[in-house]
Chains A and B, each alone.
Chain A
Amino acid sequence: AQSVTQPDIHITVSEGASLELRCNYSYGATPYLFWYVQSPGQGLQLLLKYFSGDTLVQGIKGFEAEFKRSQSSFNLRKPSVHWSDAAEYFCAVAPNRDDKIIFGKGTRLHILP
């Protein structure tokens, strides 16, 4: 069955430390890939997306993600986190251009001062 897996439910990092949030998918072809962030009381905001081309994608707020076909992964990274990055992060996948977008269960990021 098609699925998106975010293996970490919660992650805690210190402010200024680097961050990597994991995302794996189970589709055969190269899907359309997204990362969204949801802050408390707010809607989902797109951080970045990958449709094709360069496998390292730059997004907003200093985030980047790398598509690795061999590992079926699309991990989100940030070199130095800020307290304002505390939020829930969702990886999302669309198997092809005409298909629905499927979200992972999310990873909640906590920032230590």
Chain B
Amino acid sequence: DAGVTQSPTHLIKTRGQHVTLRCSPISGHKSVSWYQQVLGQGPQFIFQYYEKEERGRGNFPDRFSARQFPNYSSELNVNALLLGDSALYLCASSMAVVDTQYFGPGTRLTVL
């Protein structure tokens, strides 16, 4: 079975631009969570979606938004990029809201 997949693998943007990151969960998983991992830190929770509804939101500005599609895949959007948005963005899927989370390899975003 395929694991959690994320695209793209790497991305370079400039300040002020917009970015869309994509995630496909493990088949049968209905919950997708997004995390930001800055170098040298643990993952920080951004969003969780379950059955296409937002179930949780971390302490991130409104520039960050997400959605989940009928096939349970998800997009994370970040507007007006700042240098501080440079990080590894991780997607995780799980069967339930709090359950074993399976992580994808991440998208490395660099903002110049």
Chain A interface (Cβ < 8 Å from any Cβ of B): 32, 34, 36, 42-46, 49, 90, 92, 94, 96-106
Contact = CB atoms under 8 A, between A and B. Distances in A.
Contacts of B33: 100-101
Given A97-B97, A100-B48, A100-B58, A46 B42 contact: no
B25 interface: no
Interface of B: 4, 33, 35, 40-45, 48, 55-56, 58, 90, 92, 97-98, 100-106
Contact of B90 (A34, A43, A98, A100): A43
A46 to B, nearest CB: 6
A43 B105 contact: yes
A46 B100 contact: yes
A42 B106 CA distance: 8
17 contacts: A34-B101, A36-B103, A42-B105, A43-B90, A44-B43, A44-B92, A45-B103, A49-B100, A94-B98, A96-B98, A97-B97, A98-B55, A100-B58, A103-B44, A103-B45, A105-B41, A105-B42
B45 A90 contact: no
A101 B43 CA distance: 10
